[in-house]
Structure 1
Amino acid sequence: MDIKPLLGLSGVLIAAMTSEFNDQVTSIALIDVRGALGISHDSGTWIESLYVSAEIIGMAISPWLLMTFTLRRWTLFAIALCGASSVLIPFSPNIEAIYALRLLQGLAGGLIIPLVMATAFRILTPKIRLYGLAVYALTATFTPALASTVAALWTDVVDWRFAFLQTIPLCSLAGVLVWYCVDQDQPKYERFRMLDWRGALLLVIGIGALSTMLYQGDRLDWFNSRLICVLALVSAIAIPLLLVNEWFHPLPILKLQMLGQRNLAYGVLGLFLFVIISQSGSTVPLRFLQQVQGYRPLQSNLITLEIAALQLVMLPAMALLLDYRRVDSRVVSLVGLGLILASCIGSSFVTVYWNRDQFYIWQLFQAIGQPMVVMPLLMKATNTVISPADGPLASALLNTARATAEATSAWFLELIDRWRDALHSDRIVDEAGQDRWRVIQGNGVLPQYPPPLMPDGRLRAPGSLEAFGHAVQQQVTILSTSDTFLILGALTVFLMLAVMTLPVRTMPPRIHFAKQ
């Protein structure tokens, strides 16, 4: 086999990993970035919000534009946009410039990621297509898990600016590989005569409003905010209009009719839920270690590095396993989801004494389970693509669901935090108040744990009441973290039910497409 196309695929993969780092590394290092640039917390939330909104839009429109401008030209443009927007952020003169560059950075990331699947479909024959899916799966499992290690390197060892400057060597290498190794096709500019401009406009307005509402809703107290009310109204009007428009348009951005195929419908739903569930192996434990134990990224990154390292073994192993005729991909998915469920249940026993060592065994379950879910999911979804022209359209549906899940997961975790934090805080404070003379004020029961106040109401020691409040908040965080793991476990059970009911069995690509 000619190695040149494989080098081209490697270039697209490097570009996709770079765009993932732009998202995940910046998110983890955001506190350091805000501090260095003098950005407040509220203003800093828009740095993430704008990126995700633009990323969703980019993932939806990239496959359509890819078929118009050709793979080589469109990939080079996206890589150039990714590199230029990232490099300029550390030198931005004001917050408005950062917002604009972050929008472009998110758009570039959204444009790049679907190109991995499109390139794999183009250069890999059905005989080795599973390994192309493993390459795409790296962007869903390996790169997000590696991001905390990269963030730790830049913020705690080198310099925060490299969270953005890292794109210089990566985008340069990706651009050279794509320019040299990807063949140039004939562009199809005549497609612009049938441009779905109405769908594109509704997509920008509707999805942009929805993702912004999900990201900013908790901070702005939801429908007590006029902005959130307006965003909710806009998305409630624009998204149904978008769906109707895409259904009837002759050359749509999102070909919704393809969801009539059960395996592709499962792929879209499963990938959406998987992105949310996978937070149990990354965001949730990292946040616990930061809030309860005071860990920096350099101290906590090993628990996600464990997941990242094992992906390099597990993803090729899953490609090899799924290539056997006798292996039912649905069973593989159920085993993987069972491991993730076990990880969620085990991690729910978290206590104040837990540090990163207690997470290692449960992260191992995540590391094995995640590729066992993602690889069968991608195989089922992509086996529905018979015509090469349908490949980018299927990619648009899958990647739009994936990007939307990122905004949804942020909303979902904030919802759990607010709901369970309020419950546990009220209960702990109520219990402490009912037992005031033993817990808050008095001589106490155990001499090593005296109440913060003396019997006459005076402070037992300077800062003792603040320390008591910190201990209460610490317990609230622990209980809420436990609840989060259990709720994500329940979502895993729901996905297991979907696996058992929605998809039908499909053969490995080398067998499936030989029958066509």
Structure 2
Amino acid sequence: MTTVNPLTDGTGAATILMSPDRSSARPESAPAATEFTTRIAVGLIGMLFASLLAILNEQVTAAAMADIQGALLIGHDDGTWLTALFEAANVATMAFAPWFGVTFTLKRFTMGAVLATMLFGLLCPLATNPAMLYVLRILQGIAGGCLPPMLIIVALRYLPAKFKLYGLAGYALTATFGPALGTPLAALWTEFVDWRMAFWQVVPLGVLCCIAIQKGLPADTAKLERFRSFNWIGFVTGFPAFAMLVTGLLQGDRLDWFGSELICAMFGGGALLLVIFLVNEWFQPVPFFKLQLLARRNFAHGLATLLGTVTLLVGLAAIPGQSLAAIHGYRPLQTAPLSLLLAVPLLVTLPLTSAFLNTRRADHRWVIATGLSLMFGTCVMGSFMTSDWIRNNFYLLQSLQIVAQPMVIMSILMGVTTGLPPTEGPFASAMFNTVKTFSAAIATALIQAMGTAREHFHSNMLVDQLGNRTAAMSSGVYGHDALGQLAHRVHEQALVLTFADLYRVMACVAIALLFLVPVLPVRIFPPWSTTPSSK
């Protein structure tokens, strides 16, 4: 096996501690080293909670959307725009938040974003019409999108090498633990408290975040002079590009994909702007995305694997709840135990996985392969589901994810960030978070499109198989009640076959990711280990 020093780019070339500019641009000095103290730890916890706040705000409102639509008298079609516009603004913001965070200082920028998220959360339930609510959700999506990227930057900048992986485990909580809490919290607010709490829950956590960040993180000096070299072309092409593509993905299934002029415009315009954005970023002295980082094999593997892993995470989280709701009529309260079974143990398995990867004996390639194999096993077992499956039948599948998800996510984070100097942290954060959230939109669109297509296919096949019973039905052998029951059974079986097919699609994704493991990544060592001979 090939091994490399963790301070190299994966090809053996030493990492140059340069500025975020290209080599022809004037270098920026690296941030001054800050001694890690209890006060800094408090600030980091505040940043972790801020990132978690953004994820919970997104997931809880999505899980409680049916109750929100009912309370505000919003129809289903109008309600889908609440989610699509929020996600579009959220994804588009993540690409540019690190630049603004460095410019206005991480401390001020994060606190401002938390306060904005709280304000718009308070106002959303008070909206008097759908248009006002759309605007508030877009603004809240922008504010929330500023928060997760800050956590990686802060972890790379302030954490000592020995603790960097534990800090990244905190970030991994936002990708695993946070989404798993969405359904239980939505059930708590809508069933026992008030639907408005789906929006207002961010307030108490936001106050704690601001106090911890204010007390803990050092007060840096704002670098407003960076606006003199602001990448306007990248901003005016990248922001609408991501927003249009995400909107097209999330509305495509409902509007019949390329049969809709709106969806064609979203994809066509978004793709064109994205190409212009990426070309500009390659030649831009001070880019938002430093595409040259993709020359590092582990970084490229991390982003490629992240795309598939997020698809797996979204699929394996969505299929049990959606199948139980569609087939047996489960409400969020009844599916909450499945999510809690996954969420609570992650608080233990994530740190344990980090501790294992923080040893020199651990090879992150074997760890990620093991995690992907467990995900593949989950998909294979799920593909045998029947109409008799209830919540208890999914417990074993969820249990495997308790071990699999930390293995995959932590290995990806280790491969992407090991060897990155703090000056390149903002670029890695921008690219990693944008790919993560954009992948979630792709996964949602894939599940919707595949679900609709396969349900129609299985419904038609089942009806065709029942064609020989037409004469008996028309002669009166079956009454109206029997026909209704038969139609229900056909629909139910079509749904079961559809969700089983979705598990098979997820299994194919896991296999594809496994094939990448022996090809792209190279052996790396923990951040504290500077040379292969270090003890």
TM over 0.5: yes
1:265-284 to structure 2, matched below 5 A, reads 265-284=300-319
Matched with 1:147 is 182
Q: Report the counterpart of residue 524 of structure 2 in structure 1.
A: 506
Q: Please say if residues 261 and 384 of structure 1, whose CA atoms lie closer than 8 Å, have aligned partners that are also in contact.
A: no
Which of 89, 109, 122 is the aligned partner of 2:144? Answer: 109
Q: Is the 8 A contact 1:506 1:512 kept in 2?
A: no
Aligned partner of 2:371: which letter? Answer: G
Give the direction of change, closer, same or farther, for the CA distance of 1:39–1:303 in structure 2 (3 Å limit).
same
Looking at structure 1, the residues matched to 533 and 223 of structure 2 have their Cα atoms a distance apart, in angstroms, of 31
Name the counterpart of 2:116.
Answer: 81
Confirm or deny: 8 A CA contact 2:367 2:411 kept in the other structure: yes
1:61 aligns with 2:61: no
* 1:63-99 deviation per Cα after TM superposition (whole angstroms, max 9, x unaligned): 1111111111111111111111111111111111111
1:183 to 209, 218, 222: 218
User: Which of 457, 469, 478 matches 1:423?
Assistant: 457
Mean alpha-carbon deviation: is it higher for 427-436 or for 357-366? 427-436
- Following TM superposition, the consecutive aligned residue runs of length 4 or more in structure 1 with deviations greater than 3 angstroms are 512-516
Counterparts of 1:437-476 in structure 2, within 5 Å, are: 441=472, 453=473, 456-457=475-476, 460-461=479-480, 463-476=481-494
Q: Is the 8 A contact 1:218 1:415 kept in 2?
A: yes
**Residue 18 in structure 1 maps to residue 53 in structure 2:** yes
| Structure-2 change in CA distance of 1:258 and 1:113 (3 Å) | same
**Is the 1:264–1:384 contact (alpha carbons within 8 Å) kept by the matching residues of 2?**
no
CA distance in 2, matches of 1:428, 1:493: 30
Query: Which of 270, 290, 293 is matched with 1:258 structurally?
Result: 293
Any gaps of 5 or more consecutive residues in structure 1? 442-452
Corresponding letter in the other structure for 1:502: L
Query: Unpaired segments of 5 or more residues in structure 2?
Result: 1-35
Paired residues, what number? Answer: 499
Tell me which residue corresponds to 2:234.
199
**1:54 to partner: Cα distance:** 0.7
1:85-484 aligned at under 5 Å gives the runs 85-385=120-420, 387-436=421-470, 441=472, 453=473, 456-457=475-476, 460-461=479-480, 463-484=481-502
Any conservation in 2 of the 1:336–1:368 contact (CA below 8 Å)?
yes
Identity of aligned residues (%): 39
Instruction: Tell me which residue corresponds to 2:21.
Output: none
Preserved CA contact (<8 Å) 1:51 1:106: yes
8 A contact 2:314–2:444 mirrored in 1: no
Q: Give the Cα separation in 2 of the matches to 1:366 and 1:261.
A: 29
Paired with 2:201 and 2:38, the residues of 1 have a C-alpha distance of: 27
2:193 is aligned with what amino acid?
V
Q: Which has the higher contact order (CA 8 A, sep 6+)?
A: 2
CA contact (8 A) 2:84 2:247 kept: yes
Aligned partners of 2:95 and 2:430 also within 8 Å? yes
TM-score by length of 2: 0.91
Letter of the aligned partner of 1:490 in structure 2? Answer: C
Q: What is the Cα-based RMSD across aligned positions, in Å?
A: 1.5
Q: Deviations over 1:423-468 (max 9, x none)?
A: 111100000113435xxx3xxxxxxxxxxx4x6337625x443332
**In proportion to residue count, which structure has more helix?**
1
Q: Equivalent residue of 2:95, what SS?
A: helix
* 8 A Cα contact 1:270 1:495, kept in partner: yes
